[in-house]
C-alpha cells in the first residue's frame, strides 16, 4: 500500500471562486509576512525563527486580522510549513555546493494553491477542513458545496486536499493512503528505450514512438496571445483577460504533453515486464541550442510517470548511464564515432547496419540486463562501460 494523488476538476460557482481566491490571497500574504519576519530576525538579531514559533504567533494574528481568522487554522499552518520547507531546501543546496536560490516573496498572481491537511468522509471521519459528501465538497470558509468532476473513482483514504488554480480553472488534488498496487501478469518481455527528438522514443526492436511536439503545434497561438498581453496596459482588466487566454494555451500544451506521456508509459508497462531507460541530465541538455525541443519533449515528466506506473504494476524499471550508447556498436561493442547528423549506424567490424536510435536502445537494454538471467554482471571490472549503475523500482 502507498500514497497516490488524484486530481479532479472543480465546477465552483462565481461566489465560490471569490472565496477560493480570498483564501489564496490570505495565504500568499501570510507567506510573505512570515518570510519578512524570518529574514529580519536573522539580520538584526541572528535568530533563526522555527516553524513552531511562527505557527504559535497565528493566534495573535487572528485577533488583529479577522480575515485571517476566517481561514482554517490548518491551512495557515501549512503555509508556514511550506516556507520552512523552502528554507530547508535552500540550506541543503548550500551545503551541497549547488545553486542555492534563497526563498523569494510570492506574487498573488503566482501563489496558486493552498492545502487542507485533513479530509473527512461521512462514512469514516467527522472532522477536517474538507468533507466529501454526496459527491460534492464542503470546504471550510466557502459557502455551499463545490461540484466536482469525478472522472475516476477515488481510491484509498484521502488524507490531504490541495486546491490549485491553473489559469481560470480550479482543481482539487487528494493525497490518498492505502492505495493497493495493481500488479499486472508477467509477460516475460524486456525492452530498452532510447529517448530522442526526431522520434520521442525508439525501442530496441525498432518500434518508433512519434514525438507529438505539442508546443510546436500551438506555438502560433501562444505567440499571438503573448503579443496581446504585451500590448495591454499593466493592471487593466483587458490585460488580465489576455493573460488568462495565454495561460489557457499553455495549459492545453501541458495537458497534451502529459496525456501523451501517460498513454506511452501505460503501453510500455502493459507490454514489458522489465524496462530500461537512459538516466538523462535533462537540465544540462536544455541549455543548448535545442533547449525548446528538449523542453517540448518532456523527457523528465515521461520518466517520472513511467516510474510511477511501473512501481504500481510490479514492473522493473532500470535507469542506466547513457554515455556512449549511440557510439558503441550493439553487435560487437566496437566504438563507431558518429556526428549527431548521422542517423544510421554502420559498423565496419561486424557489418551491422541499423538506425542510430535502435542501436542506442539495444545498448541500453544490454547495459541493463547483461549477465546470466539479467544479473548485474559482477564479474566485470569497475568502470567497465557495461557495468550497471542502475536504479530499480518494483
Residues 70 and 200 in one domain: no
C-alpha cell at 287: 541549455
- Asked whether the predicted pLDDT for residue 371 surpasses 70, the reply is no
Residues 199 and 113 in one domain: no
Range of the domain at 203: 183-208+270-394
pLDDT of amino acid 123: 44
Q: Is the distance from CB of 266 to CB of 309 less than 8 angstroms?
A: yes
Q: Looking at residue 169, what DSSP letter applies?
A: E
Within-domain flag for 253: no
Residues 6+ apart with CB under 8 A from 62: 68, 69
Q: Which residue has the higher pLDDT, 392 or 22?
A: 22
> pTM for this structure?
0.83
Q: Looking at residue 24, what DSSP letter applies?
A: H
pLDDT digits (tens, 9 = 90+) for 190-239: 999 999 999 999 999 999 999 999 999 999 999 999 999 999 999 899 99
Q: Looking at residue 325, what DSSP letter applies?
A: T
Residues 187 and 84 in one domain: no
Within-domain flag for 241: no
pLDDT of amino acid 127: 53
Within-domain flag for 114: yes
What is the distance between the alpha carbons of residues 370 and 278, in angstroms, rounded to a whole number? 15
pLDDT band at 122 (very low <50, low <70, confident <90, very high): low
Within-domain flag for 137: yes
pLDDT band at 133 (very low <50, low <70, confident <90, very high): confident
Residues 193 and 326 in one domain: yes
Q: Please choose, from the candidates 148, 116, 151, 152, the residue with its C-alpha nearest in 3D space to the C-alpha of residue 134.
A: 148
Residues 163 and 293 in one domain: no
C-alpha cell at 363: 545498448
Q: Please choose, from the candidates 182, 189, 214, the residue with its C-alpha nearest in 3D space to the C-alpha of residue 204.
A: 189
Q: What share of the chain is helix, strand, coil (3-state, %, to 5)?
A: 45, 20, 35
Residues 112 and 194 in one domain: no
- Asked whether the predicted pLDDT for residue 163 surpasses 90, the reply is yes
Name the domain count of the chain.
2
- Total residue count of the chain as it appears in this document: 394
Pairing of the two strands 169-179 and 190-195: unpaired
Within-domain flag for 344: yes
Within-domain flag for 371: yes
Residues 309 and 162 in one domain: no
Helix (H) or strand (E) holding 166: strand 157-166
Residue reference for cell 461540484: 147
Within-domain flag for 240: no
C-alpha cell at 49: 525563527
Residues 6+ apart with CB under 8 A from 368: 190, 192, 274, 276, 318, 320, 388, 390
Residues 60 and 159 in one domain: yes
Within-domain flag for 238: no
Residues 6+ apart with CB under 8 A from 18: none
Q: Is the distance from CB of 220 to CB of 228 less than 8 angstroms?
A: no
Q: What is the mean pLDDT of the segment spanning 328-356?
A: 88
Q: Is the distance from CB of 294 to CB of 285 less than 8 angstroms?
A: yes
What is the distance between the alpha carbons of residues 41 and 34, in angstroms, rounded to a whole number? 11
pLDDT of amino acid 118: 87
C-alpha cell at 232: 495591454
Q: Hey, is 117 helix, strand or coil?
A: coil
- Asked whether the predicted pLDDT for residue 2 surpasses 80, the reply is no
Residues 57 and 130 in one domain: yes
Q: Is the distance from CB of 309 to CB of 263 less than 8 angstroms?
A: no
Q: What is the mean pLDDT of the segment spanning 179-196?
A: 92
Residues 192 and 130 in one domain: no
Q: What is the mean pLDDT of the segment spanning 370-394?
A: 38
Integer CA distances (angstroms), 206 to 203, 264, 348, in order: 5, 16, 21
* Residue finishing a domain among 129, 160, 179: 179
Q: What is the mean pLDDT of the segment spanning 326-330?
A: 90
Rounded to the nearest 5°, which phi and psi values hold at 337?
Answer: -70, 135
C-alpha cell at 65: 486580522
Q: What amino acid positions are annotated as catalytic residues?
A: 194, 278, 357
What is the distance between the alpha carbons of residues 193 and 362, in angstroms, rounded to a whole number? 8
C-alpha cell at 306: 513511467
Residues 321 and 190 in one domain: yes
Q: Looking at residue 185, what DSSP letter applies?
A: P
Q: What is the largest CA-CA distance in the chain?
A: 81
pLDDT digits (tens, 9 = 90+) for 262-303: 999 999 999 999 999 999 888 888 888 889 999 999 999 999
Residues 28 and 113 in one domain: yes
Neighbours of 58 (CB within 10 A): 19
Rounded to the nearest 5°, which phi and psi values hold at 368?
Answer: -80, -40
pLDDT digits (tens, 9 = 90+) for 60-87: 999 999 999 999 999 999 999 999 999 9
Q: Is the distance from CB of 245 to CB of 239 less than 8 angstroms?
A: no
Amino acid at each position: 500500500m502507498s500514497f497516490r494523488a488524484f486530481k479532479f476538476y472543480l465546477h465552483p460557482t462565481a461566489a465560490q471562486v471569490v472565496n477560493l481566491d480570498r483564501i489564496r490571497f490570505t495565504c500568499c500574504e501570510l507567506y510573505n509576512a512570515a518570510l519578512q519576519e524570518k529574514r529580519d530576525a536573522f539580520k538584526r538579531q541572528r535568530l533563526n525563527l522555527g516553524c513552531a514559533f511562527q505557527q504559535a504567533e497565528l493566534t495573535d494574528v487572528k485577533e488583529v486580522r479577522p480575515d485571517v481568522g476566517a481561514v482554517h487554522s490548518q491551512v495557515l499552518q501549512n503555509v508556514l510549513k511550506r516556507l520552512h520547507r523552502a528554507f530547508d531546501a535552500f540550506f541543503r543546496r548550500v551545503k551541497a555546493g549547488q545553486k542555492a536560490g534563497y526563498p523569494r516573496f510570492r506574487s498573488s498572481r503566482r501563489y496558486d494553491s493552498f492545502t487542507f491537511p485533513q479530509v473527512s468522509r461521512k462514512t469514516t471521519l467527522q472532522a477536517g477542513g474538507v468533507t466529501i459528501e454526496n459527491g460534492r465538497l464542503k470546504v471550510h470558509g466557502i459557502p455551499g458545496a463545490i461540484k466536482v468532476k469525478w472522472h475516476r473513482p477515488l481510491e484509498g483514504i484521502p488524507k490531504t486536499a490541495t486546491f490549485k488554480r491553473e489559469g481560470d480553472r480550479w482543481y482539487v488534488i487528494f493525497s490518498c493512503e492505502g492505495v493497493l498496487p495493481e500488479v499486472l501478469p508477467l509477460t516475460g518481455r524486456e525492452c530498452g528505450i532510447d529517448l530522442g527528438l526526431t522520434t520521442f522514443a525508439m525501442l530496441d526492436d525498432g518500434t518508433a514512438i512519434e514525438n507529438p511536439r505539442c508546443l510546436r503545434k500551438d506555438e502560433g497561438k501562444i505567440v499571438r496571445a503573448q503579443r496581446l498581453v504585451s500590448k495591454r496596459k499593466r493592471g487593466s482588466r483587458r490585460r488580465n483577460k489576455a493573460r488568462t487566454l495565454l495561460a489557457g494555451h499553455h495549459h492545453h500544451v501541458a495537458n497534451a504533453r502529459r496525456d501523451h506521456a501517460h498513454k506511452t508509459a501505460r503501453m510500455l508497462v502493459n507490454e514489458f515486464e522489465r524496462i530500461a531507460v537512459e538516466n538523462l541530465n535533462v537540465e544540462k541538455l536544455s541549455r543548448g541550442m535545442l533547449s525548446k525541443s528538449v523542453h517540448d519533449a518532456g523527457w523528465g515528466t515521461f520518466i517520472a510517470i513511467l516510474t510511477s506506473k511501473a512501481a504500481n504494476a510490479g514492473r522493473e524499471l532500470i535507469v542506466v548511464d547513457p554515455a556512449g550508447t549511440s557510439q558503441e556498436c550493439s553487435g560487437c561493442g566496437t566504438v563507431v564515432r558518429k556526428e549527431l547528423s548521422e542517423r544510421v549506424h554502420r559498423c565496419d567490424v561486424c557489418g551491422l547496419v541499423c538506425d542510430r536510435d535502435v542501436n542506442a536502445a539495444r545498448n541500453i537494454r544490454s547495459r541493463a540486463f547483461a549477465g546470466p538471467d539479467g544479473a548485474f554482471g559482477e564479474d566485470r571490472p569497475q568502470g567497465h562501460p557495461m557495468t550497471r549503475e542502475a536504479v530499480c523500482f518494483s
